[in-house]
Amino acid sequence: MRQFIQGIAENSHYQATHLLHILRQIQSHYHYIPEAAIEQLSGLLNIPRTQIISVVEFYSFFHLAPRGQYELLISDSITDHMLGKKDMLDYLTKTLGVAVGELRDDGLVSLDNTSCTGMCDQGPAGLVNGYALTRLDRSSIDKIAELINQQKPLNEWPIELFQVDDNIYKSGLLLNQQIEQGAALRSTFKRGIKETLKEIDNSGLRGRGGAGFKTAIKWQFCSEEQQTERYVVCNADEGEPGTFKDRVLLNSYADQVLEGMAVCATIIGAKQGFLYLRGEYLHLHDKLQSVLDRRRQNGLLGSNILGSGLDFDIEICLGAGAYICGEESALIESLEGKAGIPRNRPPYPVTQGYLGKPTVVNNVETFLAAASIAINGGDWFANIGTEKSKGTKILSISGDCARPGTYEYPFGVTVQTILNGCGAVDVQGIQVGGPSGVFISNQEFDRKLAFEDLATGGSFIIFNSSRNILDAVHNFTHFFAHESCGFCTPCRVGTSLLKKQIDKIVEGHGSAGDVVALEELCQLVKSYSHCGLGQTAANPILTTLERYPDLYQSRLKEISFEPGFDLDGALETARRMANRYDTGAHLSQTESEHE
C-alpha cells in the first residue's frame, strides 16, 4: 500500500489541493480509505490527518469502512421512483443478497442509495464503482448479479448496461449548430477582447445555473481586479435533481463549452481553468480528457493559443458526491481539496476565489452560449427571448411525459408549449427548477419560463394526476437534509427538523398544530441559512403548501396534539429487560387508539 499511495501522491506533485483526486484513486483501489493511507498522506501532503478525515467524511463517495469490490449505488431522485425504483431495488436486494446500506458478507458487493445521478430521462439509474448505469430493470439486474458473482471486471461488462443517451428532442439557437473548432477564439482575437466582452454584454446573457447574474458584468469585474493571477471555472457539478442537460452538453458539445471557457480566459486574463465535473459523471471523464488533448494538439489550448501569444489550459477535477459543491464558493473549496462548505461573502469569487485569486465560475451552458455569442455577436442572441431573459434555455425534462430528454426553448416559452412538446397529458403539476425551485399546479400552465416569471436552472419534472405530490415533497425534503453541509445551525438542524416534521405528517401522525409548525420552521430555515441550499430547502414544502393546503390538512389526525416520537417503541428496551410482552406493557400513542 505504501508504494501505491506514494505513487499517486507523487503524480499529484504532493499538492494538498489534489486531495479529492488522490482520495478518489484510493477509494477506487481499496474500496475505502484505509487509516494507514490517511497517516501516510498526512505526511506526504504535509496536512493534518484531521483535514483528510474531514474530507473523507464530507463526500458521499468516500468511506472510512470497507465497501464492496463492486460498489452499487442506486439513484434516489423522485424521477427514479416514478420509473419504478422501489420494485427494482427490492428485486436487486433479493437477487444480490445484500440489504441497502450494507456490505455483503463476502465483501464482494455493497449497496446503497445516492442522490440523483442525472439520468432522470433514462432511469431508474445507478452507479457501479462510479460508472453510470441506466434503465435498470429485472433483466439487467440479473445480468449485473451474475457479472458480480463471477467477479468480472467492469471493462468486460456489456456496454449496453452503461448506455447513456442524449435524447435531444428540440434544438434551438445553441444546439442547432455545432461551432467550428477554434471559431469562437478566432472571432474574439479578430474582433478584439474588449469588443467581444461588449458583444457578450449586448447579448444580455445571464448565468444559466439559475441565479441569473449577468455574465459580462461578472467577467468585467474579474478582469478589473488588481491581482493578475486569475482563474476560470466551469461548474459541471450538475446536482439539482431532475437536471441533466450539462451531461448532454459535455457529451456532445464539449468543444464548444471548453471554447467558451477559453474565450472567458482571454477576456479576464486567466491562464488556468478548471472543469469541475460531478463525480456521478465519471463516465464522461476520459472522453473529455481526450477532447482536451485534441484541443492542445490543435493549438486551441496550452501555450500561445492560435499564435495569439495567450496561454491557457484546462484541468478536469472530479467531485465525490456532494450537491452543495454546485454552490460556487463551495465548489472552489472543493477544488482546493477541502470539504465543500460555502464561504462567507463578501468577498465574492470574482475578487477572491480559487486560492484567494479572482475567479469566474459559470455554468456549462453559460460557456456554451458565450462561445456562440463570440462568433455570432450579441444581437444574434438578444433577438430571441424576453426583455430580461435573452436567448434560449436548455431544459432537462423528465417525469410523466412521452419523450423525456433535452429541449432547447427560447426564454418566454409557456409551460403549456413545453408540455405539448414533450407529450405530457393529464398533468397535475410540475417541479420547475428542481427541488430548490417551485412546484406549479395545473392552473399555472400559461406562465412563462424566464427570470422574470419562472426562473430555472433547467430541471422540469412533470407529475400526472396519478402521482401523490406529498411523495415528491417527502423525497425532496429528505434530499436537502442529506445534502446539507452542516455549517450553519438553521440548515444543519433545520433541514433535519423539516424531515422529521414532514415524515410525521406524511405518515399520518400529524395533528392540528403540525402544519402551522411546519410552515414556521420553513420560514426560519429559508430566512437564516448561510447559502442557497438552506435558503431553498423549504421550497418543496412552501410551494406545495401554498397550492395544496388541503393535501396537508387531510393527513392530519383530529386531535390537538400527538407526540413527535413513538411512545410504544420507546418502551421496547424496558419490555425486553422486564421480559414482559403482555398488553399491559404496551402504551397507545393517543387516546383514540384505545377504541
Partner 1 sequence: MSKTITLDGKIIPFEDGQTIMDAAMAAGVYIPHLCHQPEFTPHGSCKLCTVKVNGRNCSACTFPAMDGQDVLSETEELINDRKKITQMLFVEGNHLCPGCEKTGNCQLQAVAYHLNMLDNHFPLFYPNREVDASHADVMIDQSRCILCTLCVRASQQKDGKDVFAVSGRGINKHLIVNAQSGLLKDTDLEATDHAAHICPTGAILIKRTGYRVPIGERIYDHKEIDQVSLETEHVKHGE
- Site residues for partner 1 per CB under 8 A: 35, 39, 48-51, 53-54, 57-59, 322, 339, 344, 346, 481-490, 492-497, 500, 521, 524, 527-530, 564-565
Beta strands, E only, 193-303: 231-236, 272-277
Cell of 8: 499517486
Nearer to partner 1, 268 or 330 (CB): 330
Q: How far is the CB of 567 from partner 1 (least distance, A)?
A: 13
Nearer to partner 1, 35 or 293 (CB): 35
The length of the chain, given as a count of residues: 595
Q: How far is the CB of 39 from partner 1 (least distance, A)?
A: 6
Q: How far is the CB of 331 from partner 1 (least distance, A)?
A: 16
Nearer to partner 1, 39 or 426 (CB): 39
Helices and strands, counts by H and E, the chain? 25, 15
Q: Is the peptide bond before 153 cis (omega within 30 degrees of 0)?
A: no
Nearer to partner 1, 26 or 395 (CB): 26
Q: What is the DSSP string of 502-522?
A: HHHHHTT---TTHHHHHHHHH
Nearer to partner 1, 500 or 580 (CB): 500
Q: Within 13 Å and on the Cβ side, how many CA atoms surround 572?
A: 3
Identity of the residue numbered 440: I
Q: Which residues pair with 535 in a beta bridge?
A: none
Q: How far is CA 137 from CA 114, 125, 140, 143, in A?
A: 18, 10, 5, 10
Cell of 531: 447559502
Burial class of residue 593 (count of CB atoms within 10 Å of its CB; 0-12, 13-18, 19+): exposed
Total Cβ atoms within 10 A of residue 117: 29
Nearer to partner 1, 177 or 523 (CB): 523
Beta strands, E only, 82-230: 102-103, 109-114, 126-128, 131-133, 168-170
Nearer to partner 1, 188 or 511 (CB): 511
Nearer to partner 1, 64 or 559 (CB): 64
Nearer to partner 1, 199 or 280 (CB): 280
Rounded to the nearest angstrom, the gap between the alpha carbon of residue 576 and the centroid of all alpha carbons in its chain is: 44
Q: Nearest CA to 61 among 71, 46, 53?
A: 71
Q: How far is the CB of 126 from partner 1 (least distance, A)?
A: 21
Q: How far is the CB of 55 from partner 1 (least distance, A)?
A: 9
CA distance 118 to 403: 16
Q: How far is the CB of 585 from partner 1 (least distance, A)?
A: 22
Q: How far is the CB of 21 from partner 1 (least distance, A)?
A: 20
CA terminus-to-terminus distance, the chain: 65
CA distance 108 to 98: 10
Q: How far is the CB of 369 from partner 1 (least distance, A)?
A: 30
Q: How far is the CB of 148 from partner 1 (least distance, A)?
A: 29
